[in-house]
Structure 1
Amino acid sequence: MKLSIDLHIHSALSPCGDNEMTPNNIVNMAYLKGLDVIAVTDHNTMLNAKPVMELGKEKNILVIPGIEVTTKEEVHVLCYFKELKSGMKFQDIIYDNLPNVKNNTEVFGKQLIFNKKDKVIGEVNKLLINSTNFSLSEIRDLAIKYGGVVVPAHIDKKAYSIISVLGFMPDNLKFNTVEISVNQDYSLLDKFIDIGNYNVIVNSDAHYLGDINERISFIDVKDKTIGSVISYLVKKRRNKV
């Protein structure tokens, strides 16, 4: 079963996300673009995951509980979970291990929490875009403990990617799926890794509604369930380039 995806979208809870990135707006834009599966992956938090998941069901869009974590090395990784409940336990640990630095809304933007009617029900005061106290390997182990999977984010980018920070893909961490940006030239990545050894997902990393993926990125799974998507991301070489 081939499903169109965008598994890296930021809501207005991320300080860098546009204030129009509300749960309804995100789901409706994904619906208009014909997406089957999405994930809202805000920086170091999952507090907007629940309303997006609820709204996704109404539009027959599968929403994966997700979060974008910044490791101690300043590497961005995407963490996805089989269940929202376990993901929220993970995100509580992540949040508690962020520096106690207050968000400056004039500099970084607001960090808004919504309900499913797009009403603002809260605002996170701690700055969410800082690095956690956890290393890359510690994040991987913690995510697995809570039934999740870790995917190195935008490995082609020149900042906050595992390649730009480390210069290589650590074999001991056994990542089987990586994310690349839209319109990436694979030949640039070949200098650092054998991309054919990995499942590859192409996500938008959208901070604005218009940037959410069209039907350009697909995964082939057994059925349209969170479990099948997680299994795809966990298993090795399911999507050879």
Structure 2
Amino acid sequence: MGAGRLARYDLHLHSCLSPCGDDEMTPATIVGLAKLGGLDFIALTDHNTVKNCPYALEAGRFYDLPVIPGMELCTREEVHVVCLFDSLPGALAFGDAVYEKLPDIANDEEIFGHQYICNTDDEVVGKLDKLLINACDISIYDAVPMAARFGGIAYPAHVDKSANSVLSNLGFLDADMGFTIAELADIAKAPDLLQRGLLPPDIKTITNSDAHYAKDIKNPARPEYLPSEIAGLLERLLKTA
């Protein structure tokens, strides 16, 4: 799993715990559809929480599909950052730290949607009270070192989108942020962003679905490049699984 490995993956998926996610996107459903679609491994990355990751990993063991526990962190700057972890305990501890940094604003299900924690039998076993799509009191400059303290890596999400991306919100991606990977919604835009100097010349680019609905989960026709940072994290996760 070194640098340059090719793989079929989707590392940005939302479950029914994200208020903007479809209620049908239970952890077991996501894993089952990913397996059926031919993906090699996935990550579950709900907004500012990892509480459905234990059930996604359990479903992954049932379907023999590796699942990386993760989160889509919303920083103080309202920039979305994907955080992935090499162990479930590390991810859960990171999740607790992030939840403490969320503003104490209750979710209104009628406006924003449900925030369901679901087990592998698709049963609702809990909810989270705070609205998960708010910005946390965590700077984008702290995302990489904070994730690392819990055995994780971090990279900016969908940098080419017009909302909640580092380029749309800040207009730049600098070296002090510490990112070595950038996620694009459309990987074909990478050469243009690099040529215009909006991405560092040595950054690695990947694409994921950011799926909130089952129909949007990636079903790739061919393998894609996998950065060594993610390959190494996956190796560590599998050794402790």
The normalised TM-score by structure 2 is 0.88
Is structure 2 residue 230 aligned with structure 1 residue 214? no
Corresponding residue for 1:64? Answer: 68
Task: Report if aligned partners of 1:80, 1:148 keep a CA contact under 8 Å in 2.
Answer: yes
1:206 deviates by: 0.2
1:60 deviates by: 2.0
Match of 2:39 among 6, 24, 35: 35
Corresponding residue for 1:105? Answer: 109
Match of 1:47 among 42, 47, 51: 51
Match of 1:227 among 227, 230, 233: 233
Match for 1:171: what amino acid?
A
Task: Report if aligned partners of 1:167, 1:192 keep a CA contact under 8 Å in 2.
Answer: no
Corresponding residue for 1:202? Answer: 207
Match for 1:201: what amino acid?
I
Structure 2, unpaired ranges of 5+: none
Deviations, residues 158-178 of structure 1 (Å, cap 9, x unaligned): 111111111111112231111
Aligned CA-pair RMSD = 2.2
2: CA distance between counterparts of 1:26 and 1:90?
Answer: 22
Task: Report if aligned partners of 2:184, 2:190 keep a CA contact under 8 Å in 1.
Answer: no
2: CA distance between counterparts of 1:215 and 1:31?
Answer: 12
Is structure 2 residue 160 aligned with structure 1 residue 160? no
Comparing 44-53 with 134-143, greater Cα deviation is found at: 134-143
Task: Report if aligned partners of 1:5, 1:219 keep a CA contact under 8 Å in 2.
Answer: no
Match of 1:144 among 140, 143, 148: 148
Corresponding residue for 2:8? Answer: 4
Kindly report which structure 2 residues correspond to 1:179-194, keeping only aligned pairs within 5 A, or say none. 179-182=183-186, 184-190=188-194, 191-194=196-199
Match for 2:153: what amino acid?
V
Task: Report if aligned partners of 1:221, 1:228 keep a CA contact under 8 Å in 2.
Answer: no
The normalised TM-score by structure 1 is 0.88
Identity of aligned residues (%): 40
Return closer, same or farther for 1:228/1:103 CA change in 2, 3 Å cut-off: closer
Corresponding residue for 1:177? Answer: 181
Match of 2:123 among 112, 119, 124: 119
1:225 deviates by: 7.1
2: CA distance between counterparts of 1:186 and 1:226?
Answer: 24
Corresponding residue for 2:138? Answer: 134
Return closer, same or farther for 1:92/1:180 CA change in 2, 3 Å cut-off: same
2: CA distance between counterparts of 1:169 and 1:133?
Answer: 20
Deviations, residues 159-215 of structure 1 (Å, cap 9, x unaligned): 111111111111122311110114643354232434652222210000000000012
1: CA distance between counterparts of 2:214 and 2:98?
Answer: 27
1:218 deviates by: 2.2
